[in-house]
Homo-oligomer: A and B are copies of this chain.
Amino acid sequence: MNDVPDYTPPKVWTWDQANGGKFANINRPISGPTHEKTLPIGQHPLQLYSLATPNGQKVTILLEELLALGHNAEYDAWLIKIGDGDQFGSGFVDVNPNSKIPALMDRSGPKPIRVFESGAIILYLAEKFGAFLPKDDTRGECLSWLFWQMGSAPYLGGGFGHFYAYAPTKIGYAIDRFAMEVKRQLDVLDRQLANNEFIAGNTYTIADIAIWPWYGGLAQGWLYDGAEFLSVQDYKHLQRWTKQIGARPAVRRGRMVNRTSGDPASQLHERHAASDFETRTQDKLQP
């Protein structure tokens, strides 16, 4: 496991385009657009440009929850194929200069407002509609766990997921480092959920919506084929919560939006109206 030869970095890093692993074609050391491309705009005030990764799911789950509560959160969800480089089109970069999904344009006011970063989008929407974000003395707890997810998941996705599942060679030190951290994170959640029905206490909030697609996905074996390696079944309270959240109809709908893999009946490539779900078989979604 320590059998890694030492390496001497150069004085100044330079871009070696041959060495990037599975996502070499979309990882770059520079930002900005690579090509001109305008984004489509639908009829609803909220225009979402996304893909059904865990970060993408956060937003569509919240939007479906808001609609289920009766809020006027109608939206158009457009597909951004990150494997094809859609996130580097000029129109997308105008909405998110960081070239990551999801990105939102709120066209409900006199001036369009862009919001990027999944955590910012769900906080922005929760504030806008006054839902799933406590106004009482549990607001601090909800914000803490919302930000916990944002600061923690890079170790799960960009760390563990990359080195365990995607990197061109398996590097024992890196896999070990990130596996240890992810197991610690799973234990943090498990202890919190031992004493609380939801992440931030007695109420379902955007903290649950932020954490579920990542850590609920991992707990159910949907991410990186890492369930056995990380012994996810040991985290009993996390497992209880994962199933409870996953059974919510809005969560099941939200997971389908902008989905391009798995059972075709679970894929709704674009979403423009509530009726778009009717031709799909939500029950075919895992589990």
Show the binding face of A for B, using Cβ within 8 Å. Answer: 1-13, 15-16, 19-21, 27-32, 96-98, 106, 109, 111, 113-120, 123-124, 137, 139-141, 143-144, 146-148, 150-155, 158-159, 162-164, 167-177, 179-181, 183-184, 187-188, 191-192, 228-231
Contacts and interface: CB of A to CB of B under 8 A. Distances in A.
Contact of A144 (B15, B120, B159): B120
Nearest to A117: B147
A32 B9 CA distance: 37
A144 B104 CA distance: 10
B144 A187 contact: no
A98 B177 contact: no
A31 B170 CA distance: 27
Contacts of A141: 113-115
21 contacts: A3-B5, A9-B229, A12-B229, A13-B176, A16-B176, A19-B173, A20-B180, A32-B187, A114-B141, A114-B144, A115-B143, A117-B147, A117-B150, A124-B139, A124-B140, A147-B150, A167-B173, A167-B177, A169-B173, A171-B171, A174-B174
Nearest to A181: B27
A4 B5 CA distance: 7
A207 B171 CA distance: 35
Nearest to A15: B180
A165 B233 CA distance: 35
Kindly list the 10 A-B residue pairs having the minimum CB-CB distance in the complex, ordered from nearest. A117-B147, A154-B154, A29-B183, A120-B147, A7-B172, A120-B143, A150-B150, A119-B147, A115-B140, A7-B170
Nearest to A9: B175
A29 B229 contact: no
Nearest to A139: B124
Nearest to A182: B29
Given A13-B229, A123-B147, A174-B174, 9 more contacts: A9-B175, A11-B228, A13-B231, A31-B188, A114-B140, A114-B144, A155-B158, A168-B173, A169-B173
A99 to B, nearest CB: 8
Contact of A184 (B28, B154, B170): B28
